Amino acid sequence: MADLDQTIKTQLEKQNIKRNVDVKQLYLSKCNLRDVSDLGRFKNLKYLWLNQNMLTSINFLANNYRLSELYLQENHLKEITGALKHLTSMEVLYLHNNQLTKLEKVVAEFRKMQNLKSLNLFSNPVAQEPDYRLFVISSIPSLELLDRQEITKDEKDRAREIYDQEQEEVRGTIAFGRRSQGPPCIYYPSSLEKQAPTNPVEFEIGNNFYRNSPNYTTPDDAVNARLLKKSVMQFSRFDWAKVPRGEQKRTSEEPFETPQVLTMHFR
């Protein structure tokens, strides 16, 4: 540990860094490290190189939540359960050339890393498991590079079909953001209920066409009957013809008739 502390101190002096909060990266590769002291004092650490050492575990990153790039390739790691899942800012993670087994447990560490873009797991026993690549792609949707190979759209579709069948069934019932109950009925008119034909009713109800529309001898009779059934409109106006002008009132000696209101009816 004394050698590690001295290595870190030397690096910080070269970069003229005096405060732990100012440490953004540490390069600790090829230091023959078997263990590492807790690095939690470097709260803002983002880039960490620990590759090509002899590490068997990684229990020293409990408080380094801002790590975005971590290089742990070429060590002696056999298990990482519980060591990385809290590092949700991770974007680049290299773990190749180790001794990692149990693919599901390994991948479970990465599920909350929603920004993880590049992951290396090759040259580990987990990489030999059946459908290893498709399983990893399905488990980490944000991945763009896996084992130095770009992930294609076909691979993502294939992984989803195999490992996400339940979600695929749900997607199959979604149309334009809304759940569909099946194909549109407009294309399958036979499935629609047939409308029953309209038959004359025997009982008396309001606006009965068969009751209110008897047969007429001629079209004129039908028109006249219809006119008689139209609603009556009333129009009233004042009869100004019987109102004398001012000059007539002054010069005439005969009495004038009383003005009347004329009422007219229309159908």
pLDDT per residue as tens, the chain (267 positions): 657 888 899 999 999 999 999 999 999 999 999 999 899 999 999 999 999 999 999 999 999 999 999 999 999 999 999 999 999 999 999 999 999 999 999 999 999 999 999 999 999 999 999 999 999 999 999 999 999 999 999 999 999 998 876 555 545 555 555 555 555 554 445 555 555 655 655 555 555 555 666 666 777 777 777 766 665 666 677 677 777 776 666 666 677 677 777 777 666
CA 237 – CA 226 distance, rounded (Å): 28
**Which parts of the chain fold into alpha helices (H)?**
2-14, 103-108, 132-139, 153-163, 165-172, 209-212, 219-228, 246-251
Instruction: Kindly give the pairing relationship between strand 174-175 and strand 149-150.
Output: unpaired
- pLDDT of the residue at 187: 45
For residues 147 and 122, the answer to whether their CB atoms sit within 8 Å is: yes
DSSP letter, residue 190: G
Domain locations along the chain: 2-175
Pairwise CA distance, residues 39 & 69, whole Å: 15
Given a contact cutoff of 8 angstroms between Cβ atoms, the answer to whether 24 and 47 are in contact is: yes
pLDDT for position 164: 76
Q: Which of 107, 147, 143 is nearest to 123 (CA)?
A: 147
Collapsed DSSP state (helix, strand, coil) of residue 163: helix
What is the value of pTM for the model shown?
0.62
Query: 2-175 is classed in which CATH architecture?
Result: Alpha-Beta Horseshoe (3.80)
Distance from the first to the final alpha carbon of the chain: 111
| Cα–Cα distance measured from residue 157 to residue 134, given in angstroms and rounded to the nearest whole number | 10
Placement of tokens 């991948």 in the chain: 107
